[in-house]
Amino acid sequence: METTTKQNLYDEDVYRAVLGRMDQLTPETQPQWGSMSAAQMLAHCAEIQEVTNGKPLENTPFIVKLFKGMIRKMVLNEKPYPKSTKTHPQYRQTSDRDFETEKRRLLDALAKFKAEEGVARTHPLFGAMDAEEKGWSMYKHLDHHLSQFGV
């Protein structure tokens, strides 16, 4: 029998643990890899969460559309993301961000995600995703970036 290590952000204990890890961040928390500040990382995660929540994904490069099936598999499998993985242009954060503003934005997006667990919504790149896939993929992404910042 195969056991899974997949966490689900819809699970209350997992959700609370992620919020607790976020509370350990400060504007001065430094990344263990990559070049984003803590505020930029929060903005990046908020943008991805908002798209999962229904915000449009714009200006997707042709190459990303071409490889969307492969990207979906990488998002949904149990392998951790490689460090410094390239991201969609909409998710890139290159300008300064306000830590508290971006933290509130991410917390609001996460609260909406949790409240809308049963809502069927098609992801603009990955297509239909069930609650297990959405809960796992959002946890995996947040875990990657919280680990990046040592929390």
pLDDT at 2 over 50: no
pLDDT band at 4 (very low <50, low <70, confident <90, very high): low
Q: What is the pLDDT of residues 91-131, one digit of tens each?
A: 999 999 999 999 999 999 999 999 999 888 899 999 999 99
Q: Comparing C-alpha atoms, which of 114, 147, 142 is closest to residue 45?
A: 142
The confidence band for 85, taking pLDDT boundaries of 50, 70 and 90, is: confident
pLDDT of residue 1: 44
CA 117 to chain centre: 16
Q: What phi and psi, each to the nearest 5 degrees, are found at residue 122? A: -85, 125
pLDDT over 70 (residue 3) = no
pLDDT digits (tens, 9 = 90+) for 11-56: 999 999 999 999 999 999 999 999 999 999 999 999 999 999 999 9
**Can you tell me the distance from the alpha carbon of 82 to that of 84, in angstroms, rounded to the nearest whole number?**
6
- The pLDDT value recorded for residue 5 is 74
CB-side exposure of 90: number of CA atoms within 13 Å? 17
pLDDT at 146 over 90: yes
- With 0-12 / 13-18 / 19 or more C-beta atoms within 10 angstroms meaning exposed / middle / buried, residue 39 is buried
Considering the entire predicted model, what is its pTM?
A: 0.94
What is the mean predicted confidence (pLDDT) over 46-75?
96
In this predicted structure, what is the pLDDT of residue 118?
83
